[in-house]
Amino acid sequence: MSSSELKDLISKTKKQLLHLQVLGVEGIQLTEAEVPVAKPSSKQVVEPLVAPARVQPPTSVSVDRLFGDFGKSDKIENSSETFEDVHRDIGDCTRCSLHLGRTNICHTEGNRQARLMFVGEAPGADEDAQARPFVGRAGQLLTKIIEAIGLKREEVLIGNVNRCRPPGNRAPMPDEAAMCKPFLLREIAVARPEVIVVLGNTAMKNLLNTREGITRLRGIFQEYNGIKVMPTFHPAYLLRDPSKKRETWEDLKKVRDYLDSTAKNK
């Protein structure tokens, strides 16, 4: 092996060590026995090969965040804001492309001291026209669901992860949800509901930062920064598949019973 080949090998080894260190390998220290030794010939001068020193991962790289955070909830701090503060910051929002096709921004509405909050994924056509969440056919079904557990629509909070209607009522893209979600979290921090019912797969994944599907998590209370979260089916899905109404009713009875039990303890 020539001198230039040895230098190239050392360079590649150092790069590989750095790559392994970033992935969490703390270091590879070659022993003397493991260092390859080239046999000199009369035609070449061999430079001594020194084992590469232990390479420390760059301090700017957090290994546990290298591939992103999965299943970690956003931290919700106690807030001294008001809903008006949040809505003022949203303004005539143009932060993502959804503003290009919207008619109105649909803010969260209802009782801002509510013990119970409902969160969907995004407005539909009726919501976009009226600037109110859940007022179409799915919203009318949601109102009946709320009444079925002994509450009125105006006694709860109702909102969406996204406030602008996606084209064709498609699900919001990850970047669109990521742009809008912080405002929802600020509203949650202001209201501090005891329970959030998250409606449908898209809203659940966005709120809880989970890869699990709605059919696996529905009906099971999740913990979200001190707030109980009940995932269940979206009312629009129930309109397409009425057979799921019974499961949704079972989920909402758990919410009702939990709220009843905490009210008695106060």
pLDDT surpasses 90 at 171: yes
Q: What is the pLDDT of residues 123-142, one digit of tens each?
A: 999 999 999 999 999 999 99
Tell me: do 133 and 198 sit in the same domain: yes
> What residue has token string 């009444």?
147
Tell me: do 60 and 129 sit in the same domain: no
Q: How far apart are CA 176 and CA 181, in angstroms?
A: 9
- DSSP β-ladder status, 195-199 and 116-120: parallel
Closest-CA residue to 148 (of 204, 68, 86, 232): 232
Tell me: do 218 and 133 sit in the same domain: yes
**Residue 178 included in any domain:** yes
| Structural domain total, the chain | 2
Given this model, what pLDDT does residue 241 score?
A: 97
Given this model, what pLDDT does residue 68 score?
A: 31
Q: How far apart are CA 109 and CA 133, in angstroms?
A: 7
**Residue 77 included in any domain:** no
Tell me: do 117 and 229 sit in the same domain: yes
Q: What is the pLDDT of residues 145-169, one digit of tens each?
A: 999 999 999 999 999 999 999 999 9
Measured between alpha carbons, how far apart are the two ends of the chain, in Å? 80
Given this model, what pLDDT does residue 14 score?
A: 60
Tell whether the torsion through CA atoms of 87, 92, 93 and 98 is positive or negative.
positive
Tell me: do 103 and 206 sit in the same domain: yes
**Residue 131 included in any domain:** yes
- 83-90 helix and 174-191 helix, angle to the nearest 10 degrees: 160
Tell me: do 24 and 111 sit in the same domain: no
Tell me: do 87 and 175 sit in the same domain: yes
Given this model, what pLDDT does residue 89 score?
A: 97
Mean pLDDT within 213-235: 96
Tell me: do 142 and 15 sit in the same domain: no
Tell me: do 27 and 110 sit in the same domain: no
Whether residue 132 contacts residue 109, with contact meaning beta carbons closer than 8 Å, is answered with yes
How many H-runs (helices) and E-runs (strands) does the chain carry?
A: 9, 6
Tell me: do 102 and 226 sit in the same domain: yes
Given this model, what pLDDT does residue 199 score?
A: 98
**Domain membership of residue 135 as a residue range:** 83-264
pLDDT surpasses 90 at 251: yes
**Residue 78 included in any domain:** no
pTM of the model as a whole: 0.72
Q: What is the pLDDT of residues 8-64, one digit of tens each?
A: 677 666 655 544 443 444 444 444 444 455 554 444 444 444 444 443 443 333 333
